[in-house]
Structure 1
């Protein structure tokens, strides 16, 4: 019969408890909701938009991302919350427990959220004027 001698030492038990606590304190999951993208056909695509000045977006996970100054975004579709834009020439990511590639959701020059793989919408509270 095998004995679990590792946790018999008080210092090792505290170390194991510390690891468990540290792992549970990792970044939170990103809150998402399902959505359906109505894809824009390339022949119907609108003119790209440009972010004129660097804009920092604070995520509810505690992380932030900066939309670079003069970055160019192409409209790729629509969700009920607004138009979906992907960056041209780069990748935009958001971070929670993992890093996800994301597209912006914009309505009336206001960032209302982002959308990541699996068509999961990430609401932006409060919306941020661009």
Structure 2
């Protein structure tokens, strides 16, 4: 005899196993390294980022980031003394891409790709001596 409740639980479990996080959307990008001394910045206020993949990340207040170059989308900053990642189907090391006072996305150094943050988010940074 077929147990309806058991069938429902089995169907839900099968569906959950098939569900995967979406992949991080990327576009090929060319990082232009800086020839000038590398500027350092500090995050003034914490920022919680909600990614299109459904995951979120927090940029800690006081965390420091070093400029490593520019993309057409903005300046690229690498974390100092820590790692930063974004997550979708896979976890990717990520650097911040900032244009003015907006975080517009992430540079993924392992793949040399840019991933846009939709929508861009306000970010308050201050320049510090490096």
**Per the alignment, in what secondary structure is the counterpart of residue 89 of structure 1?**
coil
Which 5+ residue runs of structure 1 have no aligned equivalent? 1-10
1:84-127 CA deviation, whole Å, 9 max, x = no partner?
00010000000001111100000002100001121111001111
The answer to whether 1:35 aligns with 2:29 is yes
- Give the aligned partner of residue 122 of structure 1: 115
**Which residue of 28, 31, 37 maps to 1:45?**
37
Bigger radius of gyration among the two: 1
What is the number of residues matched between the two proteins?
Answer: 116
Q: Displacement of 1:45 after TM fit?
A: 2.8
Q: CA deviation at 1:71?
A: 0.5
CA positional deviation for 1:60: 0.2
Q: TM-score, normalised by structure 2?
A: 0.81
List alignment gaps of at least 5 residues for structure 2. Answer: 1-5, 124-130
Paired residue secondary structure (2:94):
strand
Separation in 2 of the partners of 1:29 and 1:99?
A: 10
Q: Give me the TM-score of the superposition, normalised by structure 1.
A: 0.81
Give the structure 2 partner of residue 7 of structure 1: none
